[in-house]
Amino acid sequence: MGPPRSLRSLPPEGARPALGRPGGRPFADVATACRTPAVKSRLPQVGTTIFTVMSALAQQHGAVNLGQGFPDFDCDPTLIDAVDAAMRSGLNQYPPMTGIALLRERIAAKIESLYGHRYDAAGEITVTAGATQAILTAILALVHPGDEVIVLDPCYDSYDPNIVLAGATPVHVPLTPGTFAPDFERLAGAITPRTRGIVINSPHNPSGRVWTPAEMQQLAELLRPTEIVVVSDEVYEHMVYAGDHQSVARHPELAARSVLVSSFGKTYSVTGWKIGYAAAPAALSAEFRKVHQFNVFTVNTPMQHGIAAFMADPSHHLELAAFYRAKRDLFRAGLARTRLRALPCDGTYFQCVDYSAVSDLAEADFCRWLTTEIGVAAIPLSAFYVDGFEQRIARFCFAKKSETLSLALDRLASL
């Protein structure tokens, strides 16, 4: 047996080199000694995200920030009261690794009531530090070095680096230009024996498109003969304005091979709280939890209690679509009075516009110009494509107070 590993790995006292003299050689001087070792980047292509860049530019120029996706209004005060009550009643220590039981139970009940699939709250639901952590955890848990993972461009910026961190290869398949519908011929062509995963996202950031039941069926059929797992990013599940949200939990065949990811940040207008969840069959959840356990271990306790209490009233998520539909309609009515052409928006809180009647600038340049000269920040769609595909499209976020949207629209009318 011998001593535990951690003790075994320590060299005996006398064998340790004197501090500051590794290998026994004296340092030339302190400056040399304080050298940071050269590191090889795990993500050499990655810089600061476009969302951070545009928010900083908006602030610097006093622009209305319709770039980064977050509400500029506060959440329901009863949610804050519920978190406050949890903190004051002493619920401030580590919760169970997978999340508190009441919250997992309420998540399972919500998914079942909306989509018909019952996840086992004990073995199949894990509370995460937002959707971003859930997606990374799912990929690290289920994908191996040398595997391939398909992502559909344009896509949220964390997917590609997540796949790279897992040692796998991201395979970017474009959605159909113009409609942003999945192109199943190209998808089928991208599948190889090494394909281990696919990341899907409906309602879709940035396009606002919502997958149809037929498309989910086509995906199920395409994956049927494979061992491919699906990471289904459903953070905008409660913001659908046409048809129904097509959760993988509505499609048993897909649910059996999927990690469903959602975000309370989006649903309850608390993006800064960074709390969400992953729901997956027991075998996938077991692997997911192994990584989760050594990544964050647990997610903050009082917010879990506060959200569990708030979830007892389903109107909080059921009424979200009507709330955002009104904002979308107000924003689109305003855009109709500008030279920007609003593209369809059936879900999310993003509205894309074709600006080709206004400018020939490339998307990033246009968005920078719009921010600094017109005073409205937007996100270039090219930022969501691995190859920077240009379409003269910019994305606005309409999760804003009416007065913020009106001010932005006044400025856009001058274009």
Query: Smallest distance from the beta carbon of 363 to ligand PMP, in angstroms?
Result: 18
Binding-residue pattern over the window 182 to 221 for ligand GLN, x denoting contact by CB under 6 A = -----------------------x----------------
Q: Out of 68, 258, 269, 338, which residue is the one contacting ligand GLN (CB under 6 A)?
A: 68
Please, which residue, 27 or 297, has the CB nearer to ligand PMP? 297
Distances (CA, A) of 318 to 114, 198, 313, 314: 10, 29, 9, 6
Structure tokens of 252?
Answer: 């048993």
Under rule CB under 6 A, residue 271 binds ligand PMP: yes
Cα separation, 204 vs 145, whole angstroms: 28
Under rule CB under 6 A, residue 232 binds ligand PMP: no
Under rule CB under 6 A, residue 371 binds ligand GLN: no
Q: Out of 10, 21, 49, 221, which residue is the one contacting ligand GLN (CB under 6 A)?
A: 49
The answer to whether 265 and 132 have CB atoms below 8 angstroms apart is no
Please, which residue, 138 or 374, has the CB nearer to ligand PMP? 138
Stretch that binds ligand PMP, among 7-15, 19-27, 126-134, 331-339 (CB under 6 A): 126-134
Number of Cα atoms under 13 Å in the Cβ half of residue 14: 0
Cα separation, 398 vs 323, whole angstroms: 11
The conformation of residue 240, written as its DSSP 8-state character, comes to B
Which entry of ligand PMP, ligand GLN, none binds 414, CB below 5 to 8 A by partner kind?
A: none
Q: Out of 55, 65, 98, 132, which residue is the one contacting ligand PMP (CB under 6 A)?
A: 132
CA-wise closest residue to 261 among 142, 164, 147 = 142
Under rule CB under 6 A, residue 208 binds ligand PMP: no
The answer to whether 371 and 57 have CB atoms below 8 angstroms apart is yes
Which entry of ligand GLN, ligand PMP, none binds 170, CB below 5 to 8 A by partner kind?
A: none
Please, which residue, 344 or 359, has the CB nearer to ligand PMP? 344
With CB under 6 A as the rule, give the number of residues binding ligand PMP.
14
- Residue 337: Cβ-neighbour burial (10 angstroms; 0-12, 13-18, 19+): exposed
Under rule CB under 6 A, residue 375 binds ligand PMP: no
Stretch that binds ligand PMP, among 127-135, 322-330, 339-347, 360-368 (CB under 6 A): 127-135
Please, which residue, 72 or 253, has the CB nearer to ligand GLN? 72
Residues with Cβ within 8 Å of residue 172, at least 6 apart in sequence: 150, 151, 152, 153, 155, 160, 385, 386, 387
| Three-class HEC string of 289-329 | HHHHHCCCCCCCHHHHHHHHHHHCCCHHHHCHHHHHHHHHH
Instruction: Kindly provide the residue ranges of all beta strands, DSSP E only, lying in 66-146, ordered along the sequence.
Output: 125-128
Pairing of strands 258-263, 229-233: parallel
Which entry of ligand GLN, ligand PMP, none binds 49, CB below 5 to 8 A by partner kind?
A: ligand GLN
Binding-residue pattern over the window 245 to 264 for ligand PMP, x denoting contact by CB under 6 A = ------------------x-
- Site residues for ligand PMP per CB under 6 A: 69, 130-132, 156, 201, 205, 233, 235, 263, 265, 271, 274, 276
